[in-house]
Amino acid sequence: MYGTLYGIGVGPGDPDLLTIKAVKTLARADVVFAASSTKNDYSVSLSIARPHMRANVEIRQLGFPMLRDKEQLRKAWSENAAVVAEHLAAGKNCAFLTLGDPLIYSTFGYLMQTLRTINPDLPVEVVPGITSYQAAAARTRTVLCESGENLLLLSGVGNGLDKALDFADNAVILKTYKNFTTIRDTIVAAKKDSQSTFISRLGMDGEVVAESLAEAPERPHYFSLLLVTGDKKRRNGWE
């Protein structure tokens, strides 16, 4: 009998934002896997989930390089997926921790797809998590969308932001750390700077909430995002 791999979303940073299902699943896990950079052995997702983990559970950290070289990334995914597959083949139930939700800009998605190529019969289940932008909207009382409006989810490392903002009634821009100056200039040019809120390290030490882009740091932290709404008055529950 194979063990089951559970991809668990641990939320945006506050340990209290893990779902009840995530906590119950962690309690059943024989092994907990956490992703970390190959440059260090620190895992943010592990620090968030630790208060809900059994004291004697086996913890394995999997190193993933923070780069965009596809060959090196594939090598890391294959090596780490092989480690997970070995534990599942031994009948161990495994949890893989991921920030936010496991299926939104997450390492877990790559791991899951790679596992399928190793052994498509390995059982995999996903425990959804609260995303950073859901928590950011709650923190700032920002209505993300209503009635017939759309909500566009964007990556700050992609292209075509100006056209996307023209289409979107409301937008969430994740991964704003890398091209923040360009992102900010694009939002200003679209005349949406007064409708934008910058949030960084939500629920963690060093949290930043800036109602104005002018108040945002020039070089944002890795855990930073922008909420761009169609009507500034809707924030804070105004009509």
Residues 6+ positions from 97 with CB-CB distance below 8 Å: 8, 10, 32, 33, 34, 35, 43, 45, 46, 48, 49
Tell me, yes or no, whether 13 and 110 share the same domain: yes
Task: Check if the beta carbon of residue 36 is closer than 8 Å to that of residue 63.
Answer: yes
Q: Are 229 and 168 in contact (CB under 8 A)?
A: no
| Of the residues 127, 160, 189, the one at which a domain ends | 127
Domain boundary among 80, 105, 127: 127
pLDDT digits (tens, 9 = 90+) for 73-105: 788 889 999 999 999 999 999 999 999 999 999
For residues 3 and 35, the model is more confident at 3
* Domain co-membership, 50 together with 63: yes
User: Which residues touch 238 (CB under 8 Å, ≥6 apart)?
Assistant: none
CATH code assigned at 203: 3.30.950.10
Residue closest to 173 by CA, chosen among 189, 206, 182 = 182
Going by pLDDT thresholds of 50, 70 and 90, the confidence category of residue 233 is very low
For residue 177, what is the DSSP state?
A: T
Do 209 and 220 contact (CB within 8 A), yes or no?
no
Residues 99 and 181 in one domain: no
Q: What is the pLDDT of residue 126?
A: 98
What pLDDT digit, counting tens, does each position of 48-73 carry? 999 999 999 999 999 877 666 778 77
pLDDT on residue 66: 66
Q: How confident is the model at residue 239 (pLDDT cuts 50, 70, 90)?
A: very low
Instruction: Report residue 124's pLDDT band, with 50, 70 and 90 as the boundaries.
Output: very high
Residue 202 has pLDDT above 60, yes or no: yes
Could you list the beta-strand ranges (E) of the chain: 5-9, 31-37, 58-64, 94-98, 124-127, 151-155, 170-174, 196-200, 208-210, 224-228
Structurally, how many domains does the chain consist of? 2
User: Do residues 79 and 158 share a domain?
Assistant: no
Residue 177 has pLDDT above 50, yes or no: yes
For residues 52 and 117, what is the distance between their CA atoms, to the nearest angstrom?
A: 32
Residues 55 and 41 in one domain: yes
Domain boundary (127, 142, 163) is at: 127
State which residues form the domain around 186. Answer: 132-237
Q: Give the Å distances, CA to CA, from 113 to 4, 32, 85.
A: 15, 19, 12
Per-residue pLDDT, averaged over 209-218, amounts to 90
Amino acid at 119: N
Which amino acid type is present at position 38? T
Q: pLDDT confidence of 234, banded at 50, 70, 90?
A: low
Question: Any long-range contacts for 77-85 (C-beta under 8 Å, 24+ apart)?
Answer: 77/110, 77/111, 77/114, 78/114, 80/111, 80/114, 81/111, 81/114, 81/115, 81/118, 82/118, 84/5, 84/33, 84/111, 84/115, 85/115, 85/118, 85/119, 85/122
